[in-house]
Amino acid sequence: MALKNINITINGKNLTVPEGITILEASNRAGVKIPTLCHLDLHDLKMVNKTASCRVCIVEAKGRNTLVPACVTKVYDGMDIRTNSIRAIRARRIAVELLLSNHPNECFTCPKNMDCELQALAAELGIREIKWEGEKIDLPIDTSSFAIVKNPNKCIMCRRCETMCNEVQTCGILSAISRGFSSFVGPAFNISMAESSCTYCGQCVAVCPTAALTEVNNTDQVWDAINDPDKYVIVQTAPAIRVAIGELFGMEAGTIVTGKLVTALRMMGFDKVFDTDFSADLTIMEEASELINRLENNGRLPMLTSCCPAWVKFIEHQFPELLDVPSTCKSPHIMFGTIAKTYYAEKNNIDPDKIVVVSVMPCLAKKAEAKRPELTKDDANNVDIVITTRELGSMLKEAGINFNTLPDSEFDNPLGESTGASVIFGTTGGVIEAAIRTAYEWMTGKELEHVEFTQLRGMEGIREGTVKINDIDLNIGIAHGLGNARKLLEDIRDGKSKYHAIEIMACPGGCIGGGGQPYHHGNIEIIKKRQQAIYNEDKNKAIRKSHENPYIIKLYEEYLGKPLGHKSHDLLHTYYTAKEKI
């Protein structure tokens, strides 16, 4: 039933709005800006954080002569609202000044300096001094994990991370600890992040307005490796990086900067610049083969993709009884590290112990994944260091590299050649679409003329499609966001799933919305632009099917033998372990 319209006034302007909406929603419709901090509305993710804890959105309700928070106060007929009255402005300033009075005064050295919403808000409100210097909380900083740093001293209790973790991702890790002045957000009983069931998806980091949650910074390790004359340092860059890193240099969201990225990495001093897309093609060779094998030999169905380490850790903690469902394939960047330290090292007569593999990823979970014992070979890490898009951006700025003016250049080979199928790994639906492009041709023996499976694309949290392959109507499910993944996993557990194959990615939009990407500050349109850029990059590729990558074909001929063969299984596949849910 349609809502009844009512009449209100905002700053002297008469408006007709639906009954039941908030003052903040009404002001947005009127084009009137009200500053916010704890409030975050991500409609596409079905997330609205309405804790009303910061009081930054205070406005004056003239008829009742009172100050109210705009984010949770609903309008009523005849309401007279002043967003710019002196009372409202002063109330906002006091709210922010009180937050700053208990906030570490270390902006110059803070990981989110110039990208902090509290800092930006203080500047917007013209705050030039801390009026109240009182007691500050002084709690231990949690550096226990390989992925996320939790600094409770910078927590402003906005509860955004809690909403993201519990309502969107359904991990249930974060909640309020203690009361009053000493309260902050963290895992239950204040256990460390490493002890908890955190998946390290990094979505809490993506929405945190301050530096209470940030990634573990590995940039110094990379500089040390590059400047070590005894090391041969290889870098690989994930598909989602090339459509996002330009944002850190003032470019429009979705700008494709593949060639500039390669040039920049060479200027930094890497010995070789390769593409994770190469190993994404390699992943499809193994994953498509595994899917076909399960289909033709009554194997465990549905088969789930296993490229996303956050979702893999999610199933280990939350659904350990389903650990035989995911593909046994390692993720693309781990496969790359394996091939770099075996095939590539042998081919180029390089001591693998001297090779340092650096992964540039859109993801925080990749940092922890690289340290997992199940993904090592002969007790050595396949990937040595993982940095995020943001970390690479800061390194380029530190090196004084003018990214915007760089010429384009090409990846090195043989581990730099890729296809359009590998590029779309960066977005939700891309992995399974790439797998179907190959599985279709292998199962039918016919050329796939139309490679774009548009029914698998989009931004809906759960999607499905059917692809006809011979006499099989292949039912495919897709989920992005762990809360959506939970729904599909519950169906599998309960025997209700109708799918043959399912792709799951932990982050909104897939890797393009990863926890290590440039901050979107709640603007989901940025993620949509990155997604379109991924598909544009695919269209511009000369080869668009993974099994047609000439260097992949050569890799199997010279070294691996065949997909799912003894050597490829030994090097490129792994296992999963049930983990306690804490």
> Per the structure block, which two tokens stand in for 68?
């109210």
327 carries an active-site annotation: yes
Q: What is the CATH number of the domain that holds 84?
A: 3.10.20.740
Mean pLDDT calculated for residue range 231-255: 98
For residues 91 and 226, membership in a common domain is answered with no
What is the three-state SS of 172-183? CCEEEECCHHHC
Q: Are strands 5-10 and 13-18 parallel, antiparallel or unpaired?
A: antiparallel
Of 54, 162, 511, 529, the catalytic one is 511
Determine, yes or no, domain membership for 539: yes
| pLDDT recorded at residue 144 | 98
Residues 564-575 have a mean pLDDT of 95
Q: Which of 99, 117, 137 is the last residue of a domain?
A: 99
Percentage of the residues of the chain whose pLDDT score is greater than 70 = 99
Among the candidates 68, 99, 130, a domain finishes at: 99
* Residue position matching structure tokens 């792709």: 503
**pLDDT value of position 185:** 94
Q: In the prediction, which pLDDT does 134 show?
A: 76
316 is annotated as an active-site residue: no
Q: Is the peptide bond before 563 cis (omega within 30 degrees of 0)?
A: no
Nearest to 415 by CA among 222, 225, 237: 237
Strongest mean pLDDT among 2-11, 47-56, 310-319:
310-319
Contact 397, 181 (CB under 8 A): no
Contact between 530 and 378 (Cβ < 8 Å): no
- Does 50 or 295 have the greater pLDDT score? 295
Task: Pick the catalytic residue from 112, 366, 528, 529.
Answer: 366
What pLDDT, in 10s, does the model give residues 426-438?
999 999 999 999 9
pLDDT in tens, 398-407: 999 999 999 9
Q: State the pLDDT at residue 135.
A: 83
Reported confidence tier of residue 255, pLDDT bands at 50, 70, 90: very high
- Same domain (yes/no): 227, 94: no
Judge whether 211 lies within some domain.
no
DSSP states of 502-562: EEEESSTTGGGG-TTSPP-TT-HHHHHHHHHHHHHHHHT-S--SGGG-HHHHHHIIIII-S
> Tens digits of per-residue pLDDT, 199-235?
999 999 999 999 999 999 999 999 999 999 999 999 9
pLDDT for residue 484: 96
More confidently predicted of 380 and 292: 292
Above 60 in pLDDT, residue 1? no
- Can you tell me the mean pLDDT for 367-375? 92
Handedness of CA 398, 400, 403, 409 (dihedral sign): negative
Tens digit of each residue's pLDDT (9 = 90 or more) over 333-363: 999 999 999 999 999 999 999 999 999 999 9
> Is residue 364 included in any domain, yes or no?
yes
Does any domain span residue 460? yes
Mean of all residue pLDDT scores within the chain: 95
Is residue 408 situated within a structural domain?
yes
Q: 386: closest CA among 436, 324, 336?
A: 336
Tokens of 332: 């693309």
| Domain contains 146 | no
Question: For the chain, what is the domain count?
Answer: 2
In a domain, 113, yes or no: no
Decide if pLDDT at 377 tops 80.
no
Strands (E), 430-510: 462-469, 472-480, 501-505
**Average pLDDT rounded to a whole number, residues 532-555:** 97
- What mean pLDDT is predicted for residues 456-482? 96
Catalytic residue (one of 287, 433, 441, 537): 287
- Cα distance between residue 135 and residue 566, in whole Å: 63
**pLDDT-derived band at 574, boundaries 50, 70, 90:** very high
Query: pLDDT exceeding 90 applies to what percent of the chain?
Result: 91
End-of-domain residue from the set 50, 73, 99 = 99
Active-site entry in 162, 369, 391, 503 = 369
Pairing relation of β-strands 148-150 and 213-215?
antiparallel
Specify whether 511 is catalytic: yes
Q: What is the DSSP string of 283-326?
A: HHHHHHHHHHHHHHTT--SSEE----HHHHHHHHHH-GGGTTSB
Q: What is the pTM of this model?
A: 0.95
Q: Is 287 a catalytic residue?
A: yes
Catalytic residue among 307, 329, 363, 507: 307
Domain harbouring 531, CATH code: 3.40.50.1780
Is 291 a domain residue?
yes
Range of the domain at 314: 220-572
pLDDT at 133: 80
Helices marked H in 424-474: 430-444
Is the pLDDT score of 532 beyond 80? Answer: yes
Spot the catalytic one: 106, 296, 346, 374.
374
Q: Which one is catalytic: 27, 145, 196, 327?
A: 327
Sign of CA dihedral 13, 14, 18, 23: positive
Burial 428-448 (b: 16+ CB within 10 A, else e): bbbbbbbbbbbbbbbbeeeee
Q: Quick one: pLDDT at residue 46? A: 75
